[in-house]
Structure 1
Amino acid sequence: MELYFLGTNAGVPTLQRNVTSIALRLLEERRSIWMFDCGEGTQHQVLRSPIRLGKLEKIFITHLHGDHLFGLPGLLSSRGYQGGTSPLTVYGPPGLKAYLDISLAVSQSRIPYKIEIVEHTGGTVFEDEGFKVEAALLEHRIDSYGYRVTEKDSPGSLNTELLKSYGLKPGPIYGKLKKGEDVITDEGVRICAADVVREPKRGRIVTILGDTRPCSGALELSLHADLIVHEATFAHDLAEMAHQYHHSTARQAAELAQEADAGQLLLTHFSSRYSSFEELIPLLEEAELIFPETLLAEEFSAYPIYRRQNGQLGK
């Protein structure tokens, strides 16, 4: 489970950075990829990355500003040409369906797979036996949503060494114990599942926020997350401008991560005024003063999502 950044710039692309798009790689967990936002040029970024559109299962759009949306019609079309045949679901605010229907119809795009478009206004937007995705409204110039992806806890593993001491070999009894059922061996020995099954493995939580000022919705989605992706459009010396344009500073992102008791913070969505990566270092430094576990997102870079153990990051 890791994040891969395809675009980290705000507003418009530059020669150094493309506009927003993030891939959540769930190759071990469900052999698929989820994408969050799809700014113009995302399909070109994909070609330069290890991302394979045939594995793309879901796309979550935070809001309908062009730097988060204009790449979607092209990417959906390219997916078909790159061998994508499995169904794809796109989630986003009201208006998303009209945008895609018109774009694909007018361009006569051929989509050789089923697309489901799910418009929402927050709440639980997806859930199955492995994952739950919740959305909440943020504070931006138009309706903008953040997403909280929760990996559900996995059952604890069997203590096979202890089972061997009972003379048991892998088989149906192992399966019953794994399900939490107590068993009685052929020798009449009762084995309690609680004694031979280890603690469940806690699922990870990753929060990916759309464009926003500091707000209660961002905190709600971020509480106790293992990793938060937060916009840092400006350094804090431009806090007044950030507020005026409904954005956040790096320091404000760090304050949220601290209040949310998060494990790690990834900053992205940087203003074009910071043209080089070196010019982003002051944003990182101001955030680290408040929340040390902060990183700057770099394009074409992967960031594993670690679960915290006893308050510390661990694999």
Structure 2
Amino acid sequence: MKMWFLGTGAGRPNKHRNVTAIALQLPEPDTGWWLFDCGEATQHQLMHVPLKLSKLEKIFITHLHGDHLYGLPGLLSSRSFDGGVTPLTMYGPTGLKAYIDTVFSLTATALDYELVIHELEEEQASIYTDARFRVEAGPLVHRVPCLGYRVEERDMPGPLMADKLRGLGVKSGPLFGKLKSGQPITLEDGTIITPADVTDGVLRGRIVTVLGDTSPCEMADTLGRHADLIVHEATFAAGLEEKAHEFGHCTTIEAAQTALRAGAKKVALTHFSGRYSNEDLGKLVDEAAAVFPDVIAATDFGVVEIARIHER
């Protein structure tokens, strides 16, 4: 599982970084990916990373400020031209559907795939679940309704103990595959073998939290609880808390404090004010690292790999 940063700036693009967009590349053997926010020119940013627009499965919009969604109409339209024919599902605040419907109506845009839009209420809720993932959303504190998202991957059986399987008379092949995918098998003599019988521990599911624009709040702590990675805005440097809160944002130290309270493993700072150049990012990281040790500053086209943990 990888997190690609397509835009890490706040408010408007500048020569250092584009506006907000983040891609979650799903783990192999999946080839799909999910997008969190879609600032202006996100489809241009995608040309610099190994993600195909036709493989985009879901889009999660945190809020309706322009720097988080002005890139949506163009990206959705281009997906048709890129061979995207599978359904695409979008989640976001109330008003998202009206925005897309209005732009598409005025521009006579037609898609070659089904677009499903879910407008979310301003309350904590589970919004998606399947055999691999569960996604939860919750309201943050910003100048307009704004959401944070928590992606939980399900645990998987650990490595198969091949010697033990062979000792039980199980030959490699489809039965191995069923056990590896978490399904029990039945032998010819009626013996039932479960994955727990023949696997070495479990591969713990990963947790990724992507927060929209926010001032410090309890929901940010809740969504980030025990996350392997929290993506947290850090619009301003330490010492500018009053200015940050005036506009519904956080400082570097406040982002680090959220990660600390949540018991997260790593925090990626993003959504930097245009006042900071890329050369300033080291100082911003140092501020946060004084509170929380494992912190990075996201940069455009940067990637974070999130590994599974093998637990016995």
Bigger drift between 194-203 and 111-120 goes to: 194-203
Change (3 A) 1:184 1:258: same
**Deviation of 1:180 (Å):** 6.8
Q: Which residue in 2 is equivalent to 1:258?
A: 260
Determine if contact 2:233/2:249 at 8 Å carries over to the other structure.
yes
Determine if contact 1:177/1:183 at 8 Å carries over to the other structure.
no
For residue 139 of structure 1, the aligned residue among 105, 123, 141 is: 141
Change (3 A) 1:199 1:13: same
Q: Which residue in 2 is equivalent to 1:42?
A: 42
* 1:232-269 deviation digits (Å, cap 9, x = unpaired): 00011111101111100110111111111111110000
Paired letter, 1:66 = G
Is the counterpart of residue 164 in structure 1 residue 166 in structure 2?
yes
Change (3 A) 1:234 1:173: closer
Determine if contact 1:39/1:68 at 8 Å carries over to the other structure.
yes
**Deviation of 1:97 (Å):** 0.4
Structure 2 distance, partners of 1:14, 1:238, is: 21
| Residue correspondences, number | 308
**Deviation of 1:191 (Å):** 7.2
Determine if contact 2:204/2:309 at 8 Å carries over to the other structure.
no
Determine if contact 2:202/2:310 at 8 Å carries over to the other structure.
no
Determine if contact 2:132/2:154 at 8 Å carries over to the other structure.
yes
Q: Which residue in 2 is equivalent to 1:197?
A: 199
Is the counterpart of residue 101 in structure 1 residue 101 in structure 2?
yes
Is the counterpart of residue 295 in structure 1 residue 296 in structure 2?
yes
Q: Which residue in 2 is equivalent to 1:313?
A: none
SS in 1 for 2:203: coil
SS in 2 for 1:119: strand
**Deviation of 1:170 (Å):** 2.8
Q: Which residue in 1 is equivalent to 2:2?
A: 2
* 1:104-159 deviation digits (Å, cap 9, x = unpaired): 11011121111111111241111111111100000000110000001111134431
Change (3 A) 1:66 1:194: closer
Q: Which residue in 2 is equivalent to 1:270?
A: 272
For residue 245 of structure 1, the aligned residue among 235, 244, 247 is: 247
Structure 1 distance, partners of 2:191, 2:77, is: 61
RMSD: 2.3
Structure 1 distance, partners of 2:126, 2:194, is: 36
**Deviation of 1:192 (Å):** 7.7
Determine if contact 2:232/2:267 at 8 Å carries over to the other structure.
yes
Change (3 A) 1:166 1:215: same
Q: Which residue in 1 is equivalent to 2:65?
A: 65
Is the counterpart of residue 77 in structure 1 residue 77 in structure 2?
yes
Determine if contact 2:204/2:310 at 8 Å carries over to the other structure.
no
Change (3 A) 1:235 1:173: closer
**Deviation of 1:229 (Å):** 0.1
Determine if contact 2:158/2:310 at 8 Å carries over to the other structure.
no
**Deviation of 1:44 (Å):** 1.4
**Deviation of 1:185 (Å):** 7.9
Paired letter, 2:33 = I
**Deviation of 1:197 (Å):** 2.8
Change (3 A) 1:189 1:140: closer
Q: Which residue in 1 is equivalent to 2:157?
A: 155
* 1:44-94 deviation digits (Å, cap 9, x = unpaired): 111233221011111100000000011101111111112211111111000
Structure 1 distance, partners of 2:144, 2:31, is: 34
Change (3 A) 1:215 1:83: same
SS in 2 for 1:254: helix
Identical-pair percentage: 51
Q: TM-score, normalization: structure 1?
A: 0.90
Determine if contact 1:264/1:293 at 8 Å carries over to the other structure.
yes
Change (3 A) 1:183 1:273: same
Change (3 A) 1:61 1:183: closer
Determine if contact 2:89/2:115 at 8 Å carries over to the other structure.
yes
SS in 2 for 1:163: helix
Determine if contact 2:184/2:193 at 8 Å carries over to the other structure.
no
Structure 1 distance, partners of 2:246, 2:109, is: 39
- In the alignment, structure 1 segments of 5+ residues that lack a partner are 311-315
